[in-house]
């Protein structure tokens, strides 16, 4: 048996993490003990690590079967960036390159090999595999073997025969599909031998669930995306036409957005998906054709502009938000009209049985949308899980929207903007200050030269309405005074000057303009967020993007957002401080440590480091114990 300390050492040295996510260590230990394992973890639960880490402990090669060609490259990029000898073989690899990789396999140069299932059944391939000292077999997306799963792939059925060729090696099957039926199918079809079965909770504590009445969807989507300008998000729509319309509207409003649906050419789809994954565009408007095979950990919101067909789809689609464990939001725009539309569609189905099921699923979905109690417990109940708390604190029904929020940063922005305007000699009304904050270049702003102020454009994350409401709150609270000369110019009171100087925390009633708060704003008040020096974070993000583009990989292959935020919080300046950042292992320290530390030092030469309250950031997902 491999001692736990050795596993933890390897977890840190290679992957950069200090603690296992729920059930990871149990799964890894069982597998290393030589047992067959069935692991059911939700999206973002950290399934990959469950076979990657054991692969490093074993002599020989671990075969990983995966149906998703695009993901293989992604996983292998990530492993290589962490210094792990991994490779893949699939139809996208050119003959010459494939030959080189096969030679490497003969020489025993790799610890992990990713394969599409059909590859195993090419003539002679099994003979080769037998020469490669295979130590373990991992079957990713194992539900593909079951006709009861949502993604049945006949080629998966043949995987059982590998067992006959390699009878001794342990198998680990992984999926995020929870139903008993599928689990049983996987165990039977793969001939798992007395498998250890682990089922994690399907709760995603870092996701906030909200439903809003769909009133002016285009306006609502535009507002929402504007408010989340700097972060990645997915807007799901029902039809291709809606996808195109939203994407065009967003582009017109100046957002970097692209469409994705099955009507686009293969090349366009690949291009748009890649642009999203590489953070070249922030928003992807998509039908349900988008998502499988997306590994992007920092999707901060999933907005459903139309009602999903059933709760399973809703759970899966929203599940693509927040894989990295940082606070993320799921927003559903709901109208009774959507139900009517689907019902009409279902009424035309020929298959009576299928229609009945579809109707029932739609009913459940609509019930969920109209539900007045905790949405998280409703979801979990659907998957047969009982949630521990009556109030989850992070769905719209549990969140008391009349609660106060920490608006210190917003207040600092608005107050210092007014301060600068007044210092420049021309006191103005609140609306003008809001224009400056929002980066307007209207005649009045340009005329006064207020586009040159350092506060010009620093308030893009909120719409104008937000800032106006905040301004009024500040007047009421005595931070701002209005002149009574009929011009209504605003000025800072001594209370405001003091608050700015001392960086006093300010709390106000939460402002909900189009009735949606941004996940970014929420994250400041929620326990799971990582508060950090946002300015430095942006600088680090820029550097990460440059490094990633230079290497032709997505930014998250270099570092995840958790790592960057921790850097922008702890200001590491030595190798050992840098290594203490979650997500930094030995290889990443060697490759990137110097450059990141240098940028942090440059930042500190011009800016004072900030102090932060202890972070409440915990890794996601409490556990349901071993089944």
Residues that bind ligand ADP (CB under 6 A): 17, 20-21, 24, 41, 43-49, 295, 297, 323-324, 560, 619
Note whether 87 and 104 are within 8 A (CB). yes
Find the residue with minimal CB distance to ligand ADP.
46
Minimal distance, residue 374 CB to Zn ion, in Å: 3
Q: Which does 560 bind (CB under 5 to 8 A by kind): ligand ADP, Zn ion, none?
A: ligand ADP
CA distance linking residue 523 with residue 517, whole number of Å: 10
Per partner kind, with CB cut-offs from 5 to 8 A, the member of ligand ADP, Zn ion, none near residue 46 is ligand ADP
21 or 456: CB nearest ligand ADP = 21
Residue (323 or 510) nearer to ligand ADP, CB: 323
Q: Total residues contacting Zn ion (rule CB under 5 A)?
A: 5
> Which one of Zn ion, ligand ADP, none is in contact with 436 (Cβ closer than 5 to 8 A by kind)?
none
> Which residue of 138, 392, 437, 564 would you call a contact of Zn ion, by CB under 5 A?
392
Closest distance between ligand ADP and the C-beta of residue 74, in Å?
Answer: 9
| Partner in contact with 297, chosen from ligand ADP, Zn ion, none, beta carbon below 5 to 8 Å by kind | ligand ADP
Comparing CB distances to Zn ion, the nearer of 296 and 376 is: 376
Q: DSSP label at 401?
A: T
Query: At its nearest, how many Å lie between Zn ion and the CB of residue 286?
Result: 27
Tell me whether residue 392 or residue 548 sits nearer to Zn ion (CB atom). Answer: 392
Name every residue whose Cβ is closer than 8 Å to that of residue 131 and which is 6 or more positions away in sequence. 106
Query: CB-side exposure of 17: number of CA atoms within 13 Å?
Result: 16
Residue at token pair 């300008």: 229
Interaction partner, residue 559 (Zn ion, ligand ADP, none; CB < 5-8 Å by kind) = none
User: Judged by CB under 5 A, does residue 376 bind Zn ion?
Assistant: yes
Tell me which residue of 307, 331, 336 sits closest to 239, measured CA to CA: 307
| Between 203 and 273, CB nearer to Zn ion | 203
Helices (H), 41-124: 47-57, 69-81, 95-106
Q: Shortest gap between Cβ of 379 and Zn ion (angstroms)?
A: 9
Q: From Zn ion, ligand ADP, none, which one binds at residue 38 (CB under 5 to 8 Å depending on kind)?
A: none
For ligand ADP, the closer of residues 170 and 297 by Cβ is: 297
Q: Helix axis angle, 311-318 relative to 352-370, nearest 10°?
A: 60
**Is there binding between residue 562 and Zn ion (CB under 5 A)?**
no
Judged by CB, which is closer to Zn ion: 203, or 228? 203
Backbone angles phi, psi at 175, to 5 degrees: -160, 165
> For strand 112-115 and strand 171-175, is the pairing parallel, antiparallel, or unpaired?
unpaired
Task: Check binding of 395 to Zn ion (CB under 5 A).
Answer: yes
In the complex, what is the shortest distance from the CB of residue 608 to Zn ion, in angstroms, rounded to a whole number? 39
In this structure, what token pair is assigned to residue 405? 């929020």
Q: What are the C-alpha distances in Å from 600 to residues 5, 536, 592, 594, 605? A: 32, 8, 12, 10, 9
Residue 398 interface partner, choices Zn ion, ligand ADP, none, CB cut-off 5-8 Å depending on type? Zn ion
Of 345-374, binders to Zn ion (CB under 5 A) are: 374
Please, what is the Cα angle at 324 between 608 and 135, to 5 degrees? Answer: 125
- Contacts of residue 555, defined as CB under 8 A and 6 or more positions apart, other chains included, come to 278, 279, 541, 544, 545, 548
Nearer to ligand ADP, 32 or 49 (CB): 49
Q: Residue 217: name its binding partner from ligand ADP, Zn ion, none (Cβ under 5 to 8 Å by kind).
A: none
How far from the centroid of its chain's Cα atoms is residue 195's Cα? 31
Q: What is the DSSP string of 279-307?
A: TSSSEEEE-TTSBTB---TTEEEEEESS-
Nearest CA among 28, 18, 23 for reference residue 54: 28
DSSP state of 117: G
- Contact partner at residue 374 from Zn ion, ligand ADP, none, CB < 5 to 8 Å by partner kind: Zn ion
Q: Which is nearer to Zn ion, 158 or 387 (CB)?
A: 387
For residues 467 and 437, the answer to whether their CB atoms sit within 8 Å is yes
Residue 330 interacting with Zn ion (CB under 5 A)? no
Q: Which of residues 71-130 bind Zn ion (CB under 5 A)?
A: none
- List residues near Zn ion by CB under 5 A: 374, 376, 392, 395, 398
């Amino acid at each position: 048996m491999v001692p736990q300390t050795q596993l933890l050492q390897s977890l840190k040295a290679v992957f950069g993490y200090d603690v296992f996510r729920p059930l990871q260590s149990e799964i890894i230990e069982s597998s290393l003990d030589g047992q067959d394992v069935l692991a059911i973890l939700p999206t973002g639960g950290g399934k990959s690590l469950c076979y990657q880490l054991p692969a490093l402990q074993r002599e020989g090669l671990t075969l990983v079967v995966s149906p998703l060609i695009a993901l293989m490259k992604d996983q292998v990029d990530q492993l290589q960036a962490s210094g792990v000898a991994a490779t893949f073989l699939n139809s996208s690899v050119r003959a010459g390159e494939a030959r080189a990789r096969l030679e490497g396999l003969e020489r025993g140069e790799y610890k992990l090999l990713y394969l599409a299932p059909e590859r195993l059944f090419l003539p002679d391939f099994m003979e080769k595999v037998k020469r490669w000292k295979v130590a373990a077999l991992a079957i990713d997306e194992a539900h593909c073997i079951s006709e009861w799963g949502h993604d049945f792939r006949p080629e998966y059925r043949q995987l059982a025969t590998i067992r006959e060729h390699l009878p001794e090696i342990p198998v680990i099957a992984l999926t995020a599909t929870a139903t008993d039926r599928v689990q049983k199918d996987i165990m039977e079809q793969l001939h798992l031998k007395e498998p250890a079965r682990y089922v994690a909770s399907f709760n995603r504590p870092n996701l906030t669930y909200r439903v809003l009445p769909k009133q002016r969807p285009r306006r609502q989507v535009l507002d929402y995306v504007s408010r989340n300008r700097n972060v990645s998000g997915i807007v799901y729509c029902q039809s291709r036409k809606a996808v195109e319309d939203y994407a065009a509207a967003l582009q017109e409003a100046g957002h970097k957005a692209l469409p994705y649906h099955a009507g686009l050419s293969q090349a366009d789809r690949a291009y748009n998906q890649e642009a999203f994954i590489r953070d070249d565009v922030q928003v992807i408007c998509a039908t349900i054709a988008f998502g499988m095979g997306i590994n992007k950990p920092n999707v901060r919101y999933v907005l459903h502009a139309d009602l999903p067909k059933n709760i399973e789809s809703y759970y899966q689609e929203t599940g693509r938000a927040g894989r990295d464990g940082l606070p993320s939001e799921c927003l559903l725009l709901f109208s009774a009209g959507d139900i009517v539309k689907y019902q009409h569609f279902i009424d035309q189905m020929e298959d009576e049985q299928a229609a009945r099921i579809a109707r029932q699923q739609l009913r459940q979905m609509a019930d969920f949308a109209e539900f007045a109690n905790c949405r998280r417990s409703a979801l979990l109940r659907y998957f047969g899980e009982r949630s521990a708390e009556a109030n989850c604190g992070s769905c719209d029904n549990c969140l008391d929207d009349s609660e106060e929020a920490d608006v210190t940063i917003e207040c600092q922005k608005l107050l210092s903007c007014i301060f600068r305007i007044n210092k420049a000699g021309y006191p103005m009304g609140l609306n003008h200050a809001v224009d400056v904050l929002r980066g307007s270049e209207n005649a009045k702003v340009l005329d006064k030269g207020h586009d040159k102020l350092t506060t010009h454009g620093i308030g893009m994350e909120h719409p104008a309405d937000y800032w106006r409401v905040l301004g009024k709150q500040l007047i009421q609270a005595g931070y701002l005074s209005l002149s009574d000369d009929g011009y209504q110019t605003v000025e800072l009171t001594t209370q405001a000057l003091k608050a700015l100087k001392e960086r006093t925390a300010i709390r106000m009633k939460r402002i909900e303009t189009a009735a949606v708060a941004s996940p970014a704003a929420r994250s400041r008040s929620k326990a799971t967020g990582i508060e950090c020096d946002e300015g430095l974070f942006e600088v680090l993000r820029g550097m990460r993007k440059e490094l990633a583009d230079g290497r032709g990989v997505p930014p998250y292959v270099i570092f995840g957002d958790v790592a960057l935020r921790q850097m922008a919080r702890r200001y590491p300046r030595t190798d050992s401080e840098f290594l203490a950042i979650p997500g930094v292992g030995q290889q990443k320290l060697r490759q990137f440590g110097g450059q990141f530390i240098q940028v942090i030092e440059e930042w500190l030469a011009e800016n004072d480091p900030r102090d932060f309250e202890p972070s409440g950031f915990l890794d996601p997902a409490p556990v349901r114990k071993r089944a």
